[in-house]
Amino acid sequence: MDAHPVLVDVSHLTTYFPIMGGIIRKPVGQVHAVEDISFQIHEQETFSLVGESGCGKSTTGRSILRIIEPTSGTVTFDGVNLSSLSNEEMRKMRKNMQLIFQNPYASLNPRMTVRRLLEEPLNVHLHLSPAETEKEVTWISQAVGLNAEQLDRYPHQFSGGQRQRIAIARALITKPRFVVADEPVSALDVSIQSQILNLLMDLQKELKLSYLFISHDLNVVRRISSKIGVMYLGHIVETGDTEAVYTHPLHPYTRALLSAIPKEDPSDVKERIRLVGDVPSPANPPSGCPFHNRCPECMKVCSETMPEAHSLDGHIVSCHLYD
Ligand code: SF4
């Protein structure tokens, strides 16, 4: 049983992008980026979305924050339906919900000092006095491991890991309750990755944060997450407690993904499952199960009917093997 209440409730979230064509540029199709997905994130929990590049993870994170407007479905944050909020109400809500990007250099204005980068979200959201602003900047810079003299430098004067510390400080200075971290360590060296993951976990405890963590790196995800959702072609095909999914994956796609993780233990001789075929285009998704053209266990029903979600041993899995 989950110890904390639900903070973010994603229900049947769907995001399509129009494909424009013809001389007068009218819609000629749709990219099905996120397809009817549902999951919940509890307070102080890290829920990770994993899957190959292009599977819809980042679009899901941005749709939850309404940086991209979803096509349908609802996202409830602490009991408030975000789709019912006006743009102005949503702008105010954003101090509670922040985004950390993959590329810290691109997300930081190169013409602003670290101090100004950290002051900006406070000026937009909280309108504090100069003394209170100074106090908050000092607090967050210490929390992420920056010293006072670094505050007057520019982003290009920092290493990749330090820039990500600045980006994290900027996201957390308004004391949000929920953070979408989109591949926050994938641009960093492995040794620096570990420091930033430790920092994110320490700050989670200190600030009682909930994370939606987006990553294609299954080793990173195992370290930081309490629950995971496995995405394929815009769908969540399996969710569950992280250890349960890693030790006993149920969906054939989850099994294939996990079998590709390099083994740390040489006595572990489990075979890698090699998937054949290409990921179908999200502009022209297949009928039935989205994974059926690559699935080693595909049955006749799989190409005809979309599998329903089954609740099994603490996992929720969408696959006809469990009908
Ligand atoms: Fe494979 Fe069928 Fe399950 Fe899809 S529904 S993952 S094709 S067995």
From the alpha carbon of 290, which atom of ligand 1 is closest?
A: 4
pLDDT computed for residue 102 by the predictor: 82
Does the beta carbon of 290 sit less than 6 angstroms from any atom of ligand 1?
Answer: no
pLDDT at site 11: 97
Instruction: For residue 112, report the phi and psi dihedrals to the nearest 5 degrees.
Output: -110, 140
pLDDT of 268 reads: 66
Residue 299 near ligand 1, beta carbon < 6 Å: yes
Cα(55) to centroid(ligand 1), Å: 17
**Residue-range domains of the chain with CATH:** 6-322 (3.40.50.300)
Phi, psi of 73 (to 5 degrees): 95, 175
The pLDDT assigned to 262 comes to 73
Ligand 1 neighbour 306 (Cβ under 6 A): no
> Digits of tens for pLDDT over the chain (323 positions)?
567 899 999 999 999 999 998 888 888 899 999 999 999 999 999 999 999 988 999 999 999 999 999 999 999 999 999 999 999 999 999 999 999 988 777 788 999 999 999 999 999 988 899 999 999 999 999 999 999 999 999 999 999 999 999 999 999 999 999 999 999 998 888 889 999 999 999 999 999 999 999 999 999 999 999 999 999 999 999 999 999 999 999 999 999 999 988 766 666 667 788 888 888 999 999 999 999 999 999 999 999 999 999 999 889 999 999 99
The CB of 250 under 6 Å from ligand 1? The reply is no
Nearest to 275 by CA among 56, 30, 51: 51
pLDDT of residue 265: 65
Q: Which of 299, 316, 322 to mutate to test the pocket of ligand 1 (most atoms within 8 A of CB)?
A: 299
Measured in Å, residue 317 CA sits from the centre of ligand 1 at 10
Ligand 1 binding pocket includes 291 (Cβ within 6 Å): yes
Mutate to test the pocket of ligand 1, among 238, 250, 293, 298 (most ligand atoms within 8 A of CB): 298
Q: Are strands 178-182 and 97-100 parallel, antiparallel or unpaired?
A: parallel
Q: Which of 279, 287, 292 to mutate to test the pocket of ligand 1 (most atoms within 8 A of CB)?
A: 292
Q: pTM of the entire structure?
A: 0.93
Q: What are the helix (H) ranges across 154-189?
A: 160-172
